[in-house]
Each structure stands twice: as structure tokens, then as C-alpha cells.
A and B are shown apart, each in its own frame.
Chain A
């Protein structure tokens, strides 16, 4: 054996050992996709524009108050679109003062002043940062909720600016309702003073105020499942909000039903104490996501803690406490894509994948040995090594194996031997042309290499574009195909050559080769 051949064998063994070390033990090192292990795949659109609209609404209110304070005259202040505010029918004497307000207090807005109208528009840079913040915050909140819920290895990613991808292994169709509620609920808690209760319709509530609701009041509906129905009138201003919560946990109410008790932080406690001491005998509405859950009468001064009751089941109370602990969502989520794969389907896919792999491999092996005899065995060794490298690289990259990924492996089995076929056919051709076996092997490998390179590169190009599709399952296919094809350049060219050399190097005068 020559020295270079020894080196080459060393490299092959090193690659082999490295690959095996990478993927052994298989079931720990290779990540299975949701379609193989079962679970829930969700893609949400974060409705960032709604968050921007809300922000604009808040500013409409702020501007109105400010203009009133400074006794500017105007007809009305309204929101236009998601991000503009119009002040209509202005009669201002002091434009300078007006500009000062905008410059100082509405810095994130651009404004234009014409004779009868002032228009403010939220700056683009501000909108972009708000979108970004909204999505980041949503991601954080959901991440908290999922972690507390207790799912093994959840995946939570931001996709394309405003989308969230969530993968929850092991969660099945049966838990969908609960998980959806957990993820999608805004969980905005507000404690407000209740002004009036017992209206059957919104109109009935409005009639109390001659059809025009004062600015500092709002109408809210009783939550579904609570012990009351219809509408209430509340003070718009919140005494305490969910942001001032320090903790929340499931508790039981005086009748033994499930409830959620909470404690407030210092600021919240101070506000709550001030409010309750001034309003003993009045009612406090506990509002969750704009719906009144309960409205107990204030019997004594409360400072730091309270309890939410509302005919909850134990599970609902647990989840509500969890949501309150992990904070509220800054914007609604719109479901774009949902896929739930049961554990049995995943197991079935794995079984079928293994069978198809085995059958494919066996067919190709039989074909190659029948057709190329000794050289066929050479190509089978190369092919098996290719599979080992493929698994090793998959494990090394931390790539996820999916159903299409398995298909990619199976397809690779068929396509990877192509490099061998190209070489063998060249060798055969040269033998036919009368070349000596050794030089036929030499020139066969040399001539075929360029072709192999060009031909395989196109498959790799196709796989690269497939990868651009972005969906995780198709990515799995593209990745395995790509790795398999690239590995075949090593196994079918380098390794096969070494095997030929190894088998035939001992013989001084080579008469014929088995091909």
C-alpha cells in the first residue's frame, strides 16, 4: 500500500468516525419535525396596525384634553386611518403656542396646520419601532405563558417582521381549545368603578345619558359565563391595571368555587387603597379583555390584594392566573396557519419512512450489483458511507428531519449512485476502446469528474431555491437532498477511487476488472 493511499484511507476513517460520533445515539441527536413526533404548529399574524390605531386613539384623547386645558377652540378631534389625527374647525389665535405644544409634547408626530384643520401623522420611524416593539412584546408574553403551561421543547420564532411561528411538540388536537385561549387571550385586566348596571342593551345604557355618553364613561358587557348578563356603565379611568400586578394564583372563593387571587405592587396598592377608602359601599368592576367578569361591592379599604371570582372551572382559574402573571398581549393575534399532528400519525410516518428507505436501498443495491458486479459492490460501500455522512451532517447542523426530509434521503439513495454510474460508464467506454484496466480507471475518474460536478450542481441549485420556500417541511427535503448530493461527490469520487486502488493495487499486472 502506498503512502498516499494510507493517508486517503485515514481521511475516510476520520470522516466515518466523525459522522457516527455526531449522530450516535440516533434518537437523541437527530431532531424530528412535528410531522414525525406529533404536535401543534401555529403561525400568527400580530395585528400591529391595531396597536398603532390604539396608540392614535390614546393620543386623540390626550390632544383633546391638552387643547381644552389651553382653551383652544375646536370643533372636534378625530382619528383618521390608523395613524392620523385631525383637529377640525380650529380657530386659533396663537399659532406659535400651538406649534410649541406639538413640538414639545407630540414629538413622535408630524403636523401640518392649515386654516381650518390641523393634521397630525405618526412618524414612519415611530410606527416601525412600534411594530417592532409590539411583536417583541407579544413574543415575550406568549413565551412566558407557554413556558408556564409546561410544554417540552417549544419553538417560538419571529418570522418575517410581524409573524410568529409557534411549535408545541406533544400538544394534540384535544388540547387545542385550551392552548389557543392561552396564547390568544389579550389578558388585559382593569379594575374600574361601576357606575350603573343592569341594562339589557347598549342603547338602554345610552338612554340613561340622553344618547350621548360623557367622555369619562364607557359601556362594557358582562363576560360570557359570568353570573350576570347585559351591559354596565363604568368609569373610563382604570383604578388599577394588570401591569400593576405583582402575582396571581388560583384560589377558592367563600363558596368553595375556583377563583384567582392577586397582589398588587407598591404603586398599584397605593392607588387601590386611595380608591377603596373613598368608595366604600360602591361597586368595583373587574374587567378582563373589555368584559366585566365580576363587580363586587367594596366593603372595606383594600390595599395590596384582591380576588377575582366569576364561576371559573379549576382549569380556567389556573389559566387566568397564568395569563395575568405573564402579562397582557399588546395586540391581537390572527391565526394564519395551524397544523396538528397526532402522535400515532407521526409514528406511522416514521415506520413507513424506514420501510421505504429499506426497500429503496435494497432495490438500488441489487440493481448495481447485477449491473456492475464487483464495481457495484464498490458503489454500495460508497452509498452506505454517503448515508452515514448524511446523518452525521444532519445532526451536526441540528437540522430537523421531516416527512419530506425522509423522502429526500430516499431520493438521495437513487441519485447519489449517479456519480458512480458516470465513472463506471466512462471506465467501460475506455475498456471498450482498448485501454489497459488501470489507465481506464484513472481516466474514467478524471473525465467523469467535471460532468459529475456540473450535473450535481444543478440539483443543488434547485434544492437551494426549494430552501427559499421557507416552510419547515420543505426545507427538510431541500436540506437532505443537498447534503446527500454533495456527500456523493466525496463518496462516489474519492472513496470509490480508494476502494479501486485498494482492491487492485496489489496486482502487478491487472488483466481485467469486474465492472
Chain B
């Protein structure tokens, strides 16, 4: 199989102004979007709390909002995850609100703050009553708590540890993270005395927190600085490396191409309202490396071809170089795209925005290597063809 039977002879340089216009339009659209709305920054950057909660039964976003508004958190962001009964609840409120020395509360009380309030709000009346008794909610107990509970009900240590492990095992098997019914517990083959303790003294709550995260505002602030520095240093580092391995104009053209990639990716992040979290920033930096990789392969050819065919002029050299490497560029972005698509569709919610950003970046990183990098080199055509130091 071949993409091109022979070496292709596509006239890229002649179309470079279309490419400039195309990219310019996307970036302009991004700037206009930025005026009308802000980036959807994750709690990594803004500080705040994020809860991932899973329900046993069908619940709608509106139901949740109603419950949350009863405790004054109606304005939290609530987002359904996929098709399941799982939701993200996000707010900018952090764990230790307000004054450090609230009267008559312990450190732990203050800490419980937001996540504790949400947990209370989500409970049904029945669950609240059950919780007030000394029955244990198996969907709201850790392995250690289950074990301690069983021991306190007269089960011996080893049997209790084994049972607790198996019970947690059920929650890990189910994607919901919940034990849905006692029949599931019956299937795992627990000894009769354990079973009877469980039946009489425990119940199955209607939801569980899959994960919670709270970030203090200071951390978010620190992180922004760190991210900016990392981005600037890595661009500088690459400029220096290419300047050193090639020549400065190659470095400049490459860095402009990279900036272009970053701007376009940011525009799409705005457009699709992708949440900018730490992994998304990591994705953008990865794209920078990836796109540069493509660009360097082409520039490497340009450097060779400049030596071979200096007289034939910049456009011809640049066109030839792009065409010679075109099938490689397409194949590599093809395989990379394969894996990014696998990541996007099968990798799960945790890294969804990460893989979405990568997908945009790989597509436009490939586009820019072909249509942008050499177009920028063309601007410094005279320097490029100059005899000094190749």
C-alpha cells in the first residue's frame, strides 16, 4: 500500500497565503471567543473542590441541583459523565472556608466543609435515619471500617479482613463503584456468621463518592506561574536546540510554527469548552514537542536540499522537501492519531480532556508542519540560501 505512487509534486509554497489566511481565521475566531467567554479553568488553577459521585438509581442533573440548592450549593457546576449515573460536582469553594478559628469546631469539622455538606444533602430521609442508627452503610465505608465493624460485631479478625476485602472487591468490579444489592454479596461466598451480621447490621446506600479533590487558591496561583514558566522555557529550549543544530532562522520558523499550534489548540479548547486542567497543559506541551518533531524532519530535508540544489530557488527546495517527507509525515501522524483516538474513546473520563486536546494538537501539528513551517522559512529565503555556514 502506498499513499503516493511516486514522489508527490504538490505546490505547497504557492498556496502558502491560503494557509496563512486559514490559520489566521481560526486564531482570530479564538481571540473573539476569548472576548466573549473565559477559559473553563479546572480547580488545579482556580482552586476549589471537585467531587465525582456515582448513584445506584437514575438521577438527573436537575434532581441533583435541587438537592444541592437546599444546602446553598445550587450554583455548583454539575455535569453528567457519559451515559452512566455518575456526575462531577464542582465549585470554587475550598475545604477551609473563612476564618481559621471558628468557634467550637475541631480541625476535622472545619475540614469536612464542602464535601461533608454535599454528602448530607444527597442522602435520602431513609438513609439519614439509617445513618443515625449504628448500622453501617457498605457503600460509604472503607475496607478498614468494614473490617473494624465486623470485628466489633463478633467476627474474628481473619474472617473480617477477608470479608472486607471481598466487599471492596465488588465495588471495584462494578463500574458504578457501588454494591447494588445484597444478592451480589451472596455470590461472593462469605461464611454464614458474616452474612448474618451484614444482613442485620448493614445497608446499601444509594450513592458513593468515587473521588474528591480540593485545591487551595495558593496552589492554583503557584501552578499558573509554574505552567507559564515551563511553557516559555521549553519553547526557548527548543529554539536554542534547533538554532544550535541547524541555524537560527530554522529555529525561528519552528518556534513560530509551535506558537501557531498552541494558539490554534487554545482556540479549539475555547470553542469546545474543554476544561483546562494540569493534564491538558501537559497535552499542549506534548503537542509542542510532537509538532516540532514533524517540523524538524522536514527542515532536515530542507538543509540537505539546500546543499544539493541551491541554485533552484527557495520555493522549489521547500516544496521538494515537504513532498519528499510527505508520506512519512502522514504515516506517523496516522499511527499517533490511532493511539490518541484509542485513548479518547476507551481511556475513560479521567483523561478525556487530555486526549481531546491531544487529538486537536496532533491534527493541527501535522497540518502546521506541512503548511506553515516552510512557509515561514520562505520569508527568510535569502538567508536560507546564503552560503554562510550551512
Contacts and interface: CB of A to CB of B under 8 A. Distances in A.
Interface of A: 35, 43, 45, 170-178, 180-181, 184-185, 224, 334-349, 352-353, 355-357, 359-360, 363-364, 367-368, 370-371, 403-404, 406-407, 410-411, 413-415, 417-418, 421-422, 425, 429, 432, 450-451, 454-466, 468-471, 473-474, 477-478, 481
B66 interface: no
Nearest to B326: A425
A381 to B, nearest CB: 16
Contacts of A356: 342-343, 345-348
Nearest to A41: B213
A338 B214 contact: yes
Contact of B145 (A174, A359, A414, A454): A174
28 contacts: A171-B144, A181-B106, A334-B96, A334-B216, A338-B213, A340-B211, A342-B177, A345-B177, A345-B211, A348-B348, A352-B346, A356-B348, A367-B331, A367-B334, A403-B350, A411-B340, A417-B332, A417-B335, A421-B331, A425-B325, A455-B293, A455-B300, A456-B293, A457-B241, A458-B296, A461-B234, A469-B230, A477-B279
A450 B245 CA distance: 11
A61 B208 CA distance: 52
B339 A458 contact: no
Contacts of B325: 425
A414 B331 contact: no
Nearest to A173: B209
Given A371-B1, A462-B289, A344 B342 contact: no
B215 interface: yes
Given A345-B211, A359-B342, A458-B292, A224 B286 contact: no
B351 interface: yes
Contacts of B145: 174-175
Contacts, number: 275
Nearest to A222: B104
B286 A340 contact: no
Given A181-B106, A466-B286, 13 more contacts: A35-B350, A170-B143, A224-B106, A340-B213, A343-B172, A347-B173, A363-B338, A364-B335, A455-B292, A455-B293, A461-B241, A464-B234, A465-B230
B285 interface: yes
Contact of B95 (A338, A368, A403): A338
Contacts of B279: 404, 407, 473-474, 477
Contacts of B173: 347
A467 to B, nearest CB: 9
B250 to A, nearest CB: 11
Contacts of B105: 224
Given A174-B140, A338-B95, A367-B335, A403 B234 contact: no
Given A371-B331, A414-B339, A481 B286 contact: yes
Interface string B1-26: 10000110000000000000000000
Interface stretch (B56-64, B107-115, B188-196): B107-115
A174 B144 CA distance: 10
B36 interface: no
Contacts of B227: 469
B213 A352 contact: no
B275 interface: no
Contacts of A459: 286, 289-290, 292-293
Contacts of B216: 334-337
A457 B233 CA distance: 15
A184 B112 CA distance: 13
A45 B100 CA distance: 14
Interface of B: 1, 6-7, 52, 95-96, 104-108, 111-112, 115-116, 140-145, 168, 171-178, 208-216, 218-219, 226-227, 230, 233-234, 237-238, 241-242, 245, 278-279, 282, 285-286, 288-290, 292-294, 296-297, 300, 324-325, 327-328, 331-332, 334-343, 345-348, 350-351, 354-355, 358
Contacts of B1: 370-371
Contacts of A344: 171-172, 174-178, 208, 210
Contacts of A462: 234, 238, 285-286, 288-290, 292
Nearest to B213: A339
Contacts of A364: 335, 338-339
A417 B177 CA distance: 37
Contacts of B345: 356, 359
Given A172-B142, A410-B347, A432 B289 contact: no
Nearest to A348: B175
Nearest to B355: A407
B209 A337 contact: no
Contacts of A334: 96, 216
Contacts of B177: 342, 344-345, 348
Contacts of B107: 180-181, 184-185
Given A414-B337, A422-B328, A461 B111 contact: no
A343 to B, nearest CB: 5
B290 A465 contact: no
A35 B342 CA distance: 20
Contacts of B211: 339-342, 345
B97 to A, nearest CB: 12
A455 B254 CA distance: 12
A178 B218 CA distance: 25
Contact of A337 (B116, B214, B292): B214
B72 to A, nearest CB: 21
Given A224-B105, A421-B328, A177 B111 contact: yes
Contact of A43 (B219, B233, B324, B358): B219
A345 B339 CA distance: 23
Contacts of B334: 367
Contact of A339 (B106, B171, B212): B212
Contacts of B347: 352-353, 356, 406-407, 410
Contacts of A451: 296-297, 300
Contacts of A432: 6-7
Contacts of A185: 106-107
Nearest to B172: A347
B142 A171 contact: yes
Nearest to B49: A338
Name the residue in B237, B285, B338, B341 with the highest tally of chain A Cβ atoms < 10 Å from its Cβ.
Answer: B338
A2 B96 CA distance: 71
Contacts of A339: 211-214
A466 B215 contact: no
B300 A450 contact: yes
B121 to A, nearest CB: 15
A411 B339 contact: yes
A433 B310 CA distance: 21
Nearest to A456: B293
Contacts of A338: 95, 212-215
A355 B341 CA distance: 12
